Structure 1
Amino acid sequence: MKRALRWGLATLAGAGAGGIGLSLYSRHVAAEVERRVPPDGRYLEVKGARLHYVDRGSGPTIVMVHGLGGQLRNFRYALLDRLAETHRVLLLDRPGSGYSTADEGTTPGIAAQAEIVGRFIATLGLDRPLIVGHSLGGAVALALATQRPELIRGLALIAPFTQPQSVPAAFVGLAVIPPALRRIVAETVATPLGQLTTARTVAAVFAPEEAPADFATRGGGALSLRPKAIAAAAADLAAAGDEIAAIVARYPTLTVPTAILFGRGDAILSATLHGTRTAATIPGARIELIDGGHMLPITQPDRTAAFIRDNAAHYAGDSPAA
C-alpha cells in the first residue's frame, strides 16, 4: 500500500512538473510570436470586448471580418493597400483572435460577436459600411445582417461558412478539445502540438493553392500558436456548429444585399453547399465562382479586391446595374 501510494504521488508530481514545463514553454512561444508579429493598429472598448483594428484610407467604408483561427493580417497581407486607394477600410480582429480580447469570463459565440461588431460600427459612427466576411467571418457578417440590418449597406462574403457541416479535417484537433478542459489543454499541450502540425494545417487550408512563405509573419499565421488563440478558435468552432442552424433559418428574411465569392477548389468549405445553396436561399443574393481555394484574400488578391469594390459600388448605387 505504501509503495503504491509513493508511485501515485510520484506520478502526480511528474505530471504536475510536466504541465508546468509545457505551460512555460507555451508562454515562451507566445511571447516570441508576439515579438515577431506585433499589433498593427489601435484599440476600441465596446461592451463585451476590447477590439484591435486597423483604419486606413478614405471614401465609402468597408469593414472586414476574418475567419477561424485568423486575424486582421489575413486581409492586410494583400487586400488593404488595394482597397484603401478608393475606400476607408477597417480590418477587425474578432474577440479572442489576434489582439482583440473578450471581456473576462466571457466567450462570445457567433451571434454575440456579431453584436460586438455592430457596437464597433455604431461607436465609430460608421455610415452603413459594406461588411466583408471571410470563412467563419461570413457567419458573423450574416448574423449581423439578421440583427442590425440598418447598420450596414451590404455583404460581400468570401468563402463564407453558411451551412451546417461536419468539422473540416484541418480543424479536427480543435473540435476534440472538451470545453471543460479547453483552457488547460490550450495552455499546455496545444502549442507544442500545433508547432508539429502547422505546416500540414496551413497546406490544407490553402489547398489546392500554395501558402506564401511569409504567411506566418506578414499574414499573421504564427499568432494562431498562442494558447489564448487556440482556446478562442476551439470556442469559435464549437459556437459555429451550435449556432449556424438558427442563422440559416433567417436567410429567407434577409433584406441586406448579399454577394458571395467562392473558389471552385476550396478544400475547407464546399462552394456548392456554402455558396450556391446559400445564394439560392437569400433573396436577391448573387454568387461568383472562380478558380482558387479557401484563402482567396491572400492567393487571389486582385480578383478578390475587384469583387469587393464592385459590390461596394453596386450597393452604393454607383453601378449601372444598381
Structure 2
Amino acid sequence: MDLMGGMQEAMRRVLVARGVESETVNVGGQAVHHYALEGQGKGPPVVLVHGLGGSANGFGRTFFGLAKRFSRVLAPDLPGHGFSGEFCGGPTCVQSQFDVLRAYFEEVVKTPALVVGNSLGGAMAVNLASEHSAWVKALALVAPAGAELTPQALAALLGHFAVKSSADVRALTRKLFHQPPLGALLLAPALRRLYTTPTVQALAADALATQASIAPQAVRDLKMPVLFLWGGSERLLPPEILAWYRQHLPAQAEVHVVEGFGHVPQMERPDAFVSHLVGFADRARL
C-alpha cells in the first residue's frame, strides 16, 4: 500500500472506530464502497457525493455534525474513487458513473434524501434531481460543475487534472482550498495518485470529448428546495459557472457566495459547511 492509500485507510479506521459503517455494496453491477452513519435527527437521510478525483473521505469531518440533524448520513465512493474499484474506460464514462449513482439511490438509499453534490458530484446531483426527482427531497450544490462552457474554457478546466509532476499537483491543490494545507503541498507526490487513475483520466477525456453539460431547462425546472454554495475563494472553477447557475436556477433556490470557502469547504471548514446545510434544512422544513 502506498502512502496515500495508507492515509486513506487510516482515516477509514478512525471513522469506523467512532461508529461509522464502512462497507462495499453491489449497485448497478458495480462494487461500490460507502460510509453510513445512523443519525439522531428527524430530517431525511443526507447523501454526500464527491467530485472528480475525490472520495467519501473528503466528507468524513462532516458526518457527526450532520448526524445530529439528519436521520442517516451516507457517502458513497463513486466507481474508481476512494475504496471503490476501478471502473470505466470507454466513451460513455460520465453516463456510466451517473447510472451507478442512480442505482445507489434505488438499491441503498431507498427514500427521498437531501442530496449534497460537490464539483462533478454537483452536476450528477442536478441530473438526478432532474431525471429522478422522487429520490431528491432537497438539493445542495457545492461549487457544482455541469454549466455550459466554451470548448476552450472546458479544456482549461479539465487540464488542471492532467497532472504530470509534483508541481502540477501542488498547483491543483492551491486551486482547491481557501488556504492550502501545508501537508497537502508537501505530500504532492503521493496526491498525484488520486488524479492519474484510469477512471479519473477517462472521465476527464469523456467530458472533454462530449462537451458534457447540463441542459439549462433541467436546472430551471427543479421543483425541490435548492441550496447553491460557491466559495469566495473558488479558484478551480471559472466564474462563468457561477453566472450560468445564477441565470438558470429556479426562483426558490438560495445562492450564497461564502467568504473563506474554497472548492472543497467540507474538507477545509467542515463545521461551517455543516452549519450551512443545517440552516438550509431548517428553512426548507426538512
Fold conserved between structures, TM > 0.5? yes
Residue 143 (structure 1) shift: 1.2
Residue 49 (structure 1) shift: 1.9
Residue 216 (structure 1) shift: 8.3
Contact 2:35 2:76 in 1 (8 A): yes
Pair 1:210 & 2:179 matched = yes
Contact 2:49 2:115 in 1 (8 A): yes
Residue 260 (structure 1) shift: 0.3
| Residues 223-258 of structure 1 deviation map (CA, whole Å, 9 limit, x = unaligned) | 65158x532222222333426335434222333332
Partners of 1:260 and 1:73 in 2: how far apart?
22
Contact 1:194 1:225 in 2 (8 A): no
Q: Could you say which residue in structure 1 is the equivalent of 2:64?
A: 81
Q: Could you say which residue in structure 2 is the equivalent of 1:307?
A: 276
Q: Could you say which residue in structure 2 is the equivalent of 1:298?
A: 267
Which residue of 215, 238, 254 maps to 1:286? 254
Which residue of 180, 192, 201 maps to 1:234? 201
Contact 2:232 2:259 in 1 (8 A): yes
Residue 61 (structure 1) shift: 0.6
Aligned to 2:220, the other structure's residue is in SS state helix
Pair 1:172 & 2:159 matched = yes
Partners of 1:224 and 1:46 in 2: how far apart?
28
Q: Could you say which residue in structure 2 is the equivalent of 1:97?
A: 81
Alignment size in residue pairs: 266
| Residues 161-202 of structure 1 deviation map (CA, whole Å, 9 limit, x = unaligned) | 131332475741645xxxxxxxxxxxxxx7xx3445322321
Residue 133 (structure 1) shift: 0.4
Residue 294 (structure 1) shift: 1.5
Change (3 A) 1:282 1:169: closer
**Aligned residues: CA RMSD:** 3.1
Pair 1:253 & 2:221 matched = yes
Q: Could you say which residue in structure 1 is the equivalent of 2:45?
A: 61
Residue 264 (structure 1) shift: 2.3
Q: Could you say which residue in structure 1 is the equivalent of 2:241?
A: 274
**Which TM-score applies when normalising by structure 1?**
0.71
Which residue of 156, 163, 168 maps to 2:147? 163
Change (3 A) 1:105 1:299: closer
Query: Structure 2: which 5+ residue stretches go unaligned?
Result: 13-21
> After the TM superposition, which residues 11-50 of structure 1 pair with which residues of structure 2 at under 5 Å, given as runs?
31-38=2-9, 40=12, 41-50=22-31
Partners of 2:236 and 2:67 in 1: how far apart?
29
Partners of 1:201 and 1:128 in 2: how far apart?
35
Partners of 1:48 and 1:117 in 2: how far apart?
11
Contact 2:170 2:185 in 1 (8 A): no
Contact 2:80 2:87 in 1 (8 A): no
Partners of 1:308 and 1:270 in 2: how far apart?
24
Contact 2:173 2:185 in 1 (8 A): no
Residue 222 (structure 1) shift: 4.5
Which amino acid in the other structure matches residue 216 of structure 2?
V
Aligned to 2:53, the other structure's residue is in SS state coil
Aligned to 1:203, the other structure's residue is in SS state helix
Residue 107 (structure 1) shift: 7.2
Aligned to 1:110, the other structure's residue is in SS state helix
Partners of 2:231 and 2:160 in 1: how far apart?
25
| Residues 9-56 of structure 1 deviation map (CA, whole Å, 9 limit, x = unaligned) | xxxxxxxxxxxxxxxxxxxxx644323322832111011421111111
Aligned to 1:79, the other structure's residue is in SS state helix
Q: Could you say which residue in structure 2 is the equivalent of 1:126?
A: 110
Percent identity between matched residues is 24
| Residues 60-97 of structure 1 deviation map (CA, whole Å, 9 limit, x = unaligned) | 21000111111111111x32222122222111111111
